[in-house]
A and B are shown apart, each in its own frame.
Chain A
Amino acid sequence: MLFAVAMIVFPFGYALVLSMQDFVFGHDAHFVGFGNYVRMAGDPQVRLALVLTVELWLVSLALQLVIGTWLGLLLARMRRGRGLARAVLVSPFMLPPVVVGMMAIVILDPSFGIANWLLGLMGIAPRLFLASPDTVILTLAGIDTWQWAPFVALIVLGGYLSLPSDVFEAAAIDGAAGWRRFRYVTLPLLAPTIVTAAVLRSVDLLRFFDIIYITTAGGPGYASTTLNILAYRRGFEFFDIGYATATMVALAAVVFGTTLAFARIRRAVRW
Chain B
Amino acid sequence: MVGRRIGVWFDRLMLALVLAVLVVPVLWVGLSAFKPRTEVAALPPHLFVRPTLENFVELFGRTDFGQNTLNSLIVATGSTLLGLGLAAPASFAMAWHRLSWPATATLFARMAPGALFLLPWFLMFSDVGLTGTHLVLILTHAVITLPVGVWVLLPYFEAMPRDLVESAQVDGASSMQALLKVALPVAMPGLVVAAILCFVFSWNYFLFALVLSGFNTKTAIVASFNFVGEGVTNWGALMAAAVVIALPPLLLTLLIQRRLVAGLASGAVKG
* B198-244 with Cβ < 8 A to chain A: 200, 203-204, 206-207, 211, 221, 224-225, 228, 235, 238-239, 241-242
Size bracket, chain A contacts = 35 or more
Q: Are B14 and A96 in contact (CB under 8 A)?
A: no
B40 to chain A: closest residue by CB: A106
Q: Which residues of chain A are near B113, meaning CB under 8 Å?
A: 207, 209, 228, 231, 248, 251-252, 255
Contact B86 A8 (CB under 8 A): no
Q: A98-B221, A209-B115, A248-B116 are in contact. Are A199 and B268 (CB under 8 A)?
A: yes
Q: Which residues of A contact B221 (CB under 8 A)?
A: 96, 98
Partner pick for B119 among A7, A103, A248, CB 8 A cutoff: A248
Q: Which residues of B contact A168 (CB under 8 A)?
A: none
The prevalent SS among residues of A at the interface is helix
* Residue B96, interface by CB 8 Å: no
Task: Number of B interface residues at 8 Å Cβ cutoff, please give it.
Answer: 75
Q: Mark each residue of chain B from 143 to 178: 1 if its CB lies under 8 Å from any CB of chain A, else 0.
A: 100100000000000000000000000000000000
- Listed in ascending order, the chain B residues whose CB lies under 8 Å from chain A are 8, 11-12, 14-15, 18-19, 21-23, 25-26, 28-29, 32, 41, 43-45, 86, 105-106, 108-124, 139-140, 142-143, 146, 200, 203-204, 206-207, 211, 221, 224-225, 228, 235, 238-239, 241-242, 245-246, 249-250, 253-254, 257-258, 260-262, 264-265, 268-269, 271
Binding site for B on A (CB under 8 A): 3-4, 7-8, 10-12, 14-15, 18, 71, 74-75, 77-78, 81, 85-92, 94-99, 101-103, 105-107, 112, 114, 117, 146, 150-151, 154-155, 158, 196-197, 199-200, 203, 207, 209-210, 213-214, 228, 231-232, 235-236, 241, 244-245, 248-249, 251-252, 255-256, 259, 263
